[in-house]
Structure 1
Amino acid sequence: MPSTLPDGDPAPASGELPGSALRGLGERPFGFYVHVPFCVTRCGYCDFNTYTASELGPGASHRDYADTVVEEVRLARRVLGDAELPVETVFFGGGTPTLLPPEDLSRILAAIDAEFGLRPGAEVTTEANPESVDPAYLDKLRQGGFNRVSFGMQSAREHVLRVLDRTHTPGRPARAVQEARAAGFEHVNLDLIYSTPGESDDDWRASLAAAIEAGPDHVSAYSLIVEDGTRLAARIRRGELPMPDDDVAADRYLIAEEMLTEAGFSWYEVSNWATSEQARCRHNLLYWTGGDWWAAGPGAHSHVGGTRWWNVKHPAAYAQRLAAGTSPAHAREVLSDTDRAAERLMLELRLVSGYPLAEVAPGARTSVASALARGLLEPEPFRAGRMVLTLKGRLLADALITELM
């Protein structure tokens, strides 16, 4: 959840949604996101809406947080009415959700189940810092209904972790994966970051090798983005560290594709690889394919039927709104058909399933033909009526999407 909130139209205190958002409710996949905005320390590159103990201030606490989120879950049920909305995916993100006791996370999940019902086989994920869990914690999560865990590994090299201000030690993510498997987690992801200042190709290869050897069935690998207002951005501005290089990032992506493919992973989204279709993150796929989701927590962004809204940013303000019986929504926007079409192109073209040629705007067809000629699109799916990115196309995905829009 980004730390800054966009502008938008005022959101009603009741949380009521426009009729356009409620039309077709239940016909689209429905998921829940739960934002837990607490961290022990702030990573130097992080721009998410998170708070350390010293930043939290009065009016909010770890202790009461689960009760506050449960109130928003109940609000969601009132706002969405009586529509049958079995929850297909739940994702706890942060921050560090596993700073809360496992009983608190399970209690929030139980509230979602009580209000909406979890679809049989629902995917239930939590993010975790490898240092914030142990076997007993993971056992309790599994007993509470969680079946997927995503560990923030980022790198296997100590000097790279220091630049990122990560607090875990190399080797701990691998042990955390083993502990999650022993607890009965069906699916385990490791998050990696590449092109950190000071990282070499050999460092990146070592991180990939360590991640693969740990035995997850899913790996996410993201190029480092330098966000304004972070400590990392300040260090680069002062000349202490070099700005990440786009060409270096492209080389690192190619290394990731090579090593992960050799290890039995396949890409299904530009930054995500899985060992099987079952191992793909269904919650993220819900985002990427136009589903509905309610996002609970301070600063969390929801989307239902083309209406997007976002909650107030600070945990204290969030708690105050819900304690007063009002919606924590700060503002919202109703997306136009043009906006929704642009978002669909932007998201679906990044997927291995691609984007239907029939949906391409007439004015963009020359660009599509050019992309095929430049080797950015796979010829066989193209002949079958879909645009699917080649490896070269994945490297240039953002530029191509901009061109097509």
Structure 2
Amino acid sequence: MKLHISSPSELIDSPVSFRVSDTEASSVVLVVRVTDAEGHPWQSIHDYQVGDDGVVEIPDPDEPWTSMEFVSEATAPVVFTGCETGLDFVITATAEREAASLTVRRSWGVGLVTDRIEGDGWVLACYRPAVTEGPLPGVIVVPGTLVSGATQATAALFASHGYAAGVLYYTQQPGLPDSVARIAVESIEAGMRSFAALLYVDSERVAVHAGSVGCQTALATLSGARDFRAKAVVLVAPSHVVFQALRNDGPPPKASALTRGAVDLPYVPVKAEKLFSQLIKNQVRRLFSRRPTSMAIATRTAYAAGLADGDAVEAAVIPVEEVDAPILGIAGDDDQSYPADEMVRAIMDRRSSAGVGAADELHVYTGAGHFIRPPATPTTVDRSDGLVAGGTPRGSAVAQRDAWNRTLAFLGTHLGG
């Protein structure tokens, strides 16, 4: 038996097809293995029919990748982590006593040039194609609390599609705060301006792509920005308000996540007491389990309790109608981190009521959770070390493919990339 793999490119979002030859098998067991950027092993195993032409018949081309499961027993399962370059996947097809294997490279970044630029309260990690003709349309990626290889991977994938891309860090880098607490929106705007001013960036064609609490950071900045204007905005699992500051090692401090003019912006409190029962259950489970167990918690109830305070919401709501750019809003209806599905609708409703946002788009996905990443990312684990995202494996897989396709189309329309 011989195994053949074909794809338009090695990019992770490019569909892959499999074919076997020199065999009479009518079905194969296809096994996909990889070690992610954090050193965790993943694997999927599926039975597929083989057509008369030898093509392995996979109804959903993303399934071999999205269905990969965390297979280490040395640590509690956590979400898959990509990287700014690529990973080597080992593919094996077996049929009775026949077997064939290949190693295929699947990448987020191919042939890119990288730069790192530091400013007061911000750091830019920039990616761009090595060969360009003139300034490129740009995408500024604004991360949430999970600053990891996944964020870099997303920016690298944008760059591999022909954009100049930059991750705008404001936490968890040398010289920056550890958590989202009292972040100055002036610093965020300065980072955005610095990206737009790069020689290889077309300053008139810059979009902002934000995720999770990075959305409140981006929206609060853009709605009051003086010297920067985005051409388009993509929000993944956003909030329509400024929330209370976060802390990595305990209850949230009584302060705002964001400031303007060194003054805390009004914020909606996070009711941490709603999480105590989960914390206790996790500790008890870990105490009696023979295997490592997750300490992640579903924080939606804590955020929802804060959002029940109408006065706090009215004071902390972000004036999204002042964002002079079309917005693509994306969320899952099973987000267990916070009610992004409700909040993204609130963003769109506010803009519509103000008579703006005619080119806005809204997509809320059934069965998707908080993590909606580029396609072909495994979705069988719904949590990081500390946060439960929610969503079903299938719902999140469908969401990430559709949302990514829509994101590229949206950017293409408004940036001309």
Asked if Structure 1 and Structure 2 have the same fold, meaning a TM-score greater than 0.5 normalized by the shorter chain, the answer is no
- Shorter-chain TM range is 0.3 to 0.5
The alignment's TM-score, normalised by the length of structure 2, stands at 0.35
**Larger RCO (CA within 8 A; separation ≥ 6):** 1
Normalising by structure 1, report the TM-score.
0.35
Which protein has the bigger strand share?
A: 2
